[in-house]
């Protein structure tokens, strides 16, 4: 499994959707049902714990797509 695909699977668990429904272009706030701030903090914690990258809330709010999040996580 590619690293990006693995990232999308982890994100899908937080968003409570099937991984196949997500792509790097998915707007994770608007394209999934029932977005809330707890899911947002779930993503921040995922990136911090699994990728060692600490995002501020402001930085997180600047990210629009799952691809944006992946770039933040790996750089």
Partner 1 sequence: MKLSELSNQSRIGFVENDADFCALGKLNALSSEKTLIFLSEGKYIPKIDESLVSAVITTNEVGSALRSSSLGILISDNPKRDFYIAHNYLIQSGFYFDRFDTVIDETAIIHSTANIASQNVRIGKNTIIYPNATILENSIIGDSCVVMAGSVIGSDGYEVIEIDGINRIVSHAGWSIIKNNVQIETNTVVCKGLFPTRNTIIDEEVTIDNLVHVAHGVQIGRRSKIVAHAVLSGNVTIGKNVWIGPSAVITSGIIIGDNAKVSLGAVVIRNVPSGCTVSGNFAIDHEQFMRFMSKIIRSFKE
For binding to partner 1 (CB under 8 A), which residues are involved? 13, 37-38, 40-42, 44-46, 49, 57
Instruction: Tell me the closest approach of the beta carbon of residue 47 to partner 1, in angstroms.
Output: 11
Q: How far apart are CA 20 and CA 68, in angstroms?
A: 18
Nearer to partner 1, 20 or 49 (CB): 49
Instruction: Tell me the closest approach of the beta carbon of residue 11 to partner 1, in angstroms.
Output: 12
Choose among 46, 50, 68: nearest CA to 59.
68
Instruction: Tell me the closest approach of the beta carbon of residue 43 to partner 1, in angstroms.
Output: 8
Give me the DSSP letters along 30-41.
TSSSS--HHHHH
């Amino acid at each position: 499994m590619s690293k990006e695909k693995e990232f999308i699977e982890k994100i899908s668990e937080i968003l409570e959707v099937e991984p196949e429904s997500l792509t790097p272009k998915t707007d994770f706030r608007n394209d999934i049902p029932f977005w809330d701030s707890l899911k947002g903090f779930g993503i921040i914690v995922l990136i911090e714990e699994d990728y060692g990258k600490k995002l501020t809330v402001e930085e997180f709010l600047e990210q629009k797509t799952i691809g944006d999040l992946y770039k933040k996580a790996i750089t």
